[in-house]
Chains A and B, each alone.
Chain A
Amino acid sequence: MTTNDNRRPRGALEAAVMTALWAAQAPMSATEVQHELGGDLAYNTVQTILTRLHEKNAVQRRLDGRRHTYWPVVDAATAAAAQMKAALGERSDRHAVLQQFAASLDEADAALLRQVLAGTERRRR
């Protein structure tokens, strides 16, 4: 279970936990975070990372019964979004200089991608 723990640096683990919390849109327990990350991290590792993130004020937590649940602090992310919109929104040509994950599509391309997606979904089952 812990094979990946050593391979991934600490920052990458924090990032993985943060992305899981952001994706969830609801408070999560350490067990839920561990499950969401595909179970390739040990429970103790996840718990340690969550505690550290809480100490850094990156996540908030509350006691639900006998366990803590965690959710991300939104203030910084809201501010980041405003700055990002300001930096990118006004000038579309700024996008061209960035290495960003995926760009826009026309209708024919979108149809092709849906086909590919349907193909990979079928193979997965």
Chain B
Amino acid sequence: MLHDLLIAPFQDFEFMRRALVGTLALALGAAPVGVFLMLRRMSLTGDAMSHAILPGAAVGFLVAGLDLFAMTLGGLVAGVVVAVLAGLVARGTELKEDAALAAFYLVSLALGVVIVSLRGSNVDLFHILFGSVLALDDAAMLLLASVASLSLVTLAVIWRPLVMECVDPNFLRSVSGAGGPVHLVFLALVVMNLVGAFHALGTLLAVGLMMLPAAAARFWARDITALAAIAVLVGMVSGYAGLLVSYNTELPSGPSIILVAGGICLVSIFIGPVGGILRRLIPARHLEA
């Protein structure tokens, strides 16, 4: 019985196995990146950049149809361009970075939908907006695995200066010139993970497996390493449970995964031991010292 419910779907169907491996890889790379985005108060930046990828991917689609390589390349280029442009506009004008990003991503989203509509059907549009986690081919799997591997290795390399850049950028600047490059590498990681997630979850939900696990983890741990580990775990559980929910109820799979992640996040907000609502409502007796 339990076997039928929890394991059989993956045993019986290859597309379910692929979807599972794809989401696990995605969670592994995207969740730690999401933790840093959250801690740097850049959650909305991630959201905006995931939308910004759309016109690039759409141009790739226009040129080559639903081709992995073309859409990935287009998405990467668009993501980097918008990240740099938003930074320049914020630095060079009176517009703050969040306003600049909001402006860019609204235009990007509209532009992307228009470009896709030039050639594709509504089915294509749906595919691009919400992804197709149940239709991951070999190339897409390889891409997701590569993104996850590259993310983990890169994070391991830049971990120390990235943490220092977050906590005390002035100090890092006084001992090392690594601050600027580390920030750029980190932005590149964000774009890379979003482009990977785009294939599985679509442009509208790509940021979900990045930010929701990070937000949930905040209520379970105080330490940065623990935060990253818990976020990865939450992302993986969401992927697994979301796929099962979608299999058993015939709901669309991408949104199911994100809803499960959202559910875990909501539960964490209530019962999480680190500043959860329940802890605040039922205060324990204060300590002696």
Partners in one complex: no
